[in-house]
Chains A and B, each alone.
Chain A
Amino acid sequence: MLRRAIASGLALCLLSMAQGASAQGFGMGGYSEQTGEALYQGVCQGCHMPDAKGAVGAGAYPALAGDKRLAAKAYPELVVLRGQKAMPAFGPSFSDAQVAAVVNYVRTHFTNNYSDSVTTDDVKALRATLSAK
C-alpha cells in the first residue's frame, strides 16, 4: 500500500525529479508569451500548426483556420481553459489575459474574422463558472 502511494506521489513522465516536475505539473507553470500572436506561435502551433490548418495522423488536430465553431467566442475560451479530449487544459497555466489574447488572435487570423472580442473579464467570469462546478 505504501509503495503504491509513493509511486503515485512520484508519478513521473519518463522524467527526472530534478526540476520538481510531477505528473500534476504537466502543462502547468507559466508562459512568458503575452500577445495573441506570441502565444499562438509559442504554444498553439505545436499542434494546430503554423498555418492553423491542423494535421492528420492516427488521430488528428483540428484546423482553426476557417473553423465555424469559433463564431461563438465562448467556445474557444472554454476549450482553451478546460481542454477537450486530446487537447490539454491551459486554464491552469494561462492567465485570463493570455486566454483572451490568444482567443482574439485566432478569431481574427487564419481567414477567421470575428469582430466581437473576448475581454479578460469574460475569461475571468467563465473561469469562475467552471471552478464552481
Chain B
Amino acid sequence: MKPVADDIRQTMSRRDLFSLIGTLAGSAVMYEAMSSLAYAGEAGYFGPPKLSGDVKGASVLILGSGMAGMTSAYELRKAGYKVQILEYQDRPGGRNWSLYGGDTYTELGGATQHVEFDKGLYLNPGPWRIPYHHYGMLHYCKLLNVALEPFVQVNYNAYVHSTKAFGGKPQRYRHVQADFQGYVAELLAKSTRQSALDQAVTKEDQEILLEALRQWGALDKNYEYTLGEASSGRRGYDSDPGGGLTSVPTPSQPIGFKDLLQSHLWRSIAAGSGYETQQSLFQPVGGMGMIGKAFGAELKEVIQYNAKVIDIHQDAKGVTVTYQDTQKGGPPMQARADWCICTIPVSVLSQIPINVGAPMQAAIDNLSYASSVKVGLQFKRRFWEEDENIYGGITYTDQPNSTIGYPNSGYFSSGKGVILGAYAFGPAAFEYTSMSPPERIAKSLEYGAKVHPQYMEEFDTGASVAWHRVPWTLGCAGSWTEELRAEHYDAMCALDGRIMLAGEHASRIPAWQEGAVLSALDAIRRLHQRVLAA
C-alpha cells in the first residue's frame, strides 16, 4: 500500500493542499496537517520559502553563521522576524571558506599557518563544488550575485594511479575508462553471440544489444575491442591525425584486459557517475568562500562575531544564550529571543549545556564527525597544463592523499598555480591530522611526486586544513550511519520546545552545503508554522 502522501501528490501538490487547509481552517489546523503528513519527510528543494502571515514581532536567535544559519537569518528577517546571529569566528561562512595569501589560520594545538598563495589563488578547505541540482545553493548564489564557473569533475586526460599497478606509472583516465568499457562490451557481445544470453534476451533484442555494445564499447566489425580506429577514437592515438603530408594517425594500443582488471584502476572511473558528481558542477569564481562573504555582507547588521556560546537555556517564553566575547573578554553576556535555531555542529554542541529533551540530547551526543584533510600546494608554474595538458579536473591515487585536484580556472596563465594536493578521508585523514602542517605538505609532495615528477622542482608553498583540528567544528561533517539515522535523525530535526537544530548534520545530504541550506529551509518553515499557530 502506498503512503497517504503519495496518493495526495497524484492529485494536488502538497503545498496546494496546505494552503487550502490553511485558508479553510486556520493556521493551527494547518500545522497539525503538516505534521501528520510528515512534511519534514519530503525531500528536495521547494524554492525560496514563502513565510507569509503576521509573525507578531517574534524574534529568533540563530547560533552560527554558516550556510544554515545565514539562510535561516535571511529568510526569517525577510518574513518580518527580529533576528540575531551569534558566531564563534571573526568571519561569516563556517565551512564555506577559502584560504588566500595573507590569511592566517591557527588550528587546535596552536600550529599557525601564514598562507602565502599568490593573489587570486586559493585553497577551498571544505566544500569545493556545487552540483547542478543543489538548487538551494544555486538559488542563493544567484540572489547574492556570486559568480559561478564550471567545476571539472571528470578530466579524461587526468590520471588514475596505483602504486601497485603498471610499475607505479599513472595511467590516463581516458585509457582506463575506454579500455574497461571496451572489454566489457566485447565480453558481453561474445556471450550474446554464443547464445549464452538466450534466456535473458530475445533473438530480436540480441541484434539491438550487439549494435549497442559496438557503439558503447567502440568495438570493431567483429565485435572485438582491438587496436585500431574504433578504440583510438575513444582512448586517443599515439600520434594524432594531422594536416597535409604528416596526417596519418598512429592508433594506440589498449591496455591488456588482465592487467587492467588486476590494476584495480577501474575503481576510479565511476567518479563522475554519481548523482552528486555528474556534470554540470559549479564553483564560485575566486573561491567557495565568496558565498559566505556575500551572505555575511548581506546580513552584517545581525551577525555578532567572536561570540563563543557556553550555555543555551529555554523556558516557557523564550531562549537565553550565554556567550563570551573571545576578543574583548570580560564577563559572559546573554542574548535572548522567542526562538532559537542552533546550527552549531553537534560535535561542539554536545559539550555545551542545553536543556532540550532526552531524544534531542541523545541525537546531539551520538553523532561524531568524519575526518577529512585538504592540502593546497602552490607551484611555480602550471606544469600539469604546460607539460601534461591537464586543464582542471581530478587525478585519483591509491596513496593516502587520495586526490589531486587541478585548478578549474586561470587556464593557460603563465603564473603560479595551486593544486589540491591531498583530500584524505578515513584512516588516512586521521593520520594526516596527526601530522604537523609542514609534515602534511611534505607527505603530500612525496605522494604527488609519484604522479607528477615535476613536484619537487616546482613546489613553492602550501597550506593544510585537518578538519578534526578546526577549532569550531571538531571534524568535517556528521558521520551518519543507517542505524544512527533510524535512532536519532528525527529527534535531531524536531522542534524541541523553542529550539530547533539546523545544518548539514540535520539533513540527508551530509557534508554537502545543500544539506545545510535545505535543513535551514525546512526548520524555518516548521518554526514559522508553529509561530503562526501560537
Q: Which residues from chain A sit less than 8 Å from chain B, CB to CB? A: 1, 3-4, 6-8, 10-21, 23-31, 41-47, 49-50, 55-61, 83, 85-89, 93
Size bracket, chain B contacts: 35 or more
| A18-B396 contact in complex given A12-B274, A89-B368, C-beta closer than 8 Å | yes
A19-B425 in contact given A26-B371, A58-B471 (Cβ < 8 Å): yes
Q: Is B275 a contact partner of A6 (Cβ separation < 8 A)?
A: yes
**CB-nearest residue of chain A to B271:** A18
A-B residue pairs in contact (CB < 8 Å), sample of 25: A1-B6, A3-B44, A7-B276, A8-B508, A12-B512, A14-B477, A15-B425, A16-B423, A18-B268, A23-B370, A23-B479, A25-B426, A26-B426, A31-B431, A41-B434, A46-B468, A46-B469, A47-B469, A58-B472, A85-B350, A86-B351, A86-B368, A86-B369, A86-B474, A93-B427
Q: Does B488 have its Cβ within 8 Å of any Cβ on chain A?
A: no
Does B425 lie within 8 Å of A21, measured CB to CB? yes
Q: Are A16 and B350 in contact (CB under 8 A)?
A: no
- Decide: A13 near B347, CB < 8 A? Known: A23-B370, A88-B368: no
Contact, CB under 8 Å: B127 / A14: yes
Q: Residue on B with the closest CB to A14?
A: B511
Interface of A is mostly: loop
Q: By the criterion CB–CB under 8 Å, are B372 and A14 in contact?
A: yes
Kindly state the separation between the CA atoms of A61 and B473 in the bound complex, as whole angstroms.
Answer: 12
Q: A19-B425, A41-B434, A47-B469 are in contact. List 17 more A-B contacts (CB 8 A).
A: A4-B43, A7-B275, A13-B479, A14-B372, A17-B270, A17-B271, A19-B267, A21-B425, A24-B481, A27-B371, A27-B427, A29-B426, A44-B434, A49-B108, A56-B108, A59-B347, A86-B369
Q: Does B228 contact A (CB under 8 A)?
A: no
- Whether B351 lies near A85 (C-beta < 8 A) is yes
- Chain B 338-365: CB-based contact to A (< 8 A → 1; otherwise 0): 0000001001101110000000000001
Which one of B6, B44, B348, B509 contacts A86 once the chains associate, using CB atoms below 8 Å? Answer: B348
B: which residues have CB within 8 A of A? 6, 43-44, 88, 108-110, 126-128, 153, 267-268, 270-271, 273-277, 308-309, 344, 347-348, 350-352, 365, 368-372, 394, 396, 398, 402-403, 423, 425-427, 430-431, 433-434, 466, 468-477, 479-482, 485, 508-512
Q: Which of A4, A30, A49, A86 contacts B508 (CB 8 A)?
A: A4
Cα distance, A26 to B148, chains bound together (Å): 30
Find chain A residues with CB under 8 A from B403 CB.
Answer: 16, 18
CB of B476, distance to nearest CB on chain A (Å): 6
CB distance from A133 to the nearest CB of B (A): 12
Minimum Cβ distance to chain B for residue A108 (Å): 20
Which chain B residues border A86 with CB–CB below 8 Å? 347-348, 350-351, 368-369, 474-475
Partner pick for B427 among A13, A15, A31, CB 8 A cutoff:
A31
A57 adjacent to B427 (CB under 8 Å): no
Q: How far is the CA of A16 from the CA of B347 in the complex (A)?
A: 24
Interface of B is mostly: loop
Q: Which residues of A contact B347 (CB under 8 A)?
A: 59, 85-86
Closest B residue to A60 by CB, please name it. B351
In Å, the complex CA distance between A69 and B48 comes to: 50
- Do B477 and A57 have beta carbons less than 8 Å apart? no
Please tell me if the beta carbons of A14 and B128 are within 8 angstroms of each other in the complex: yes
A42 with B431: in contact, given A4-B508, A14-B477, A19-B396 (CB under 8 Å)?
yes
Q: How far is the CA of A18 from the CA of B509 in the complex (A)?
A: 18
Give the docked Cα–Cα distance between A42 and B479 (Å): 21
Residues of A within 8 A of B427 (CB): 27, 29-31, 43, 93
Tell me the complex Cα distance, A86–B346, Å.
8
Name the one of A4, A21, A55 contacting B108, with C-beta atoms under 8 angstroms: A55
Please name all residues of chain B whose beta carbon is closer than 8 Å to the beta carbon of A49 when the two chains form the complex.
108-109
Given A26-B371, A42-B431, A86-B348, answer yes or no on A16-B426 (Cβ-Cβ < 8 Å): no
The CA of A31 and the CA of B433, in the complex, are separated in Å by: 14
Considering the chains assembled together, what is the distance between the CA atoms of A1 and B475 in angstroms?
A: 30
Q: Which residues of B contact A23 (CB under 8 A)?
A: 370, 479-481, 510-511
| B127 / chain A contacts, CB cutoff of 8 Å | 14
Contact B348 A11 (CB under 8 A): no
Q: Which residue of B lies closest to A87 (CB)?
A: B368
Cβ-defined contact, B477 with A13, below 8 A: yes
User: Which has the most chain B C-beta neighbours within 10 Å: A10, A11, A20, A49?
Assistant: A11
Chain A residue numbers with a CB within 8 Å of B474 are 47, 57-59, 61, 86
Closest to B347 in A: A86
With a cutoff of 8 Å between Cβ atoms, the chain B residues found around residue A41 in the complex are 434
List the A side residues contacting B402 at CB < 8 Å: 19
| Inter-chain contacts of A11 with B (CB < 8 A) | 480, 508-511
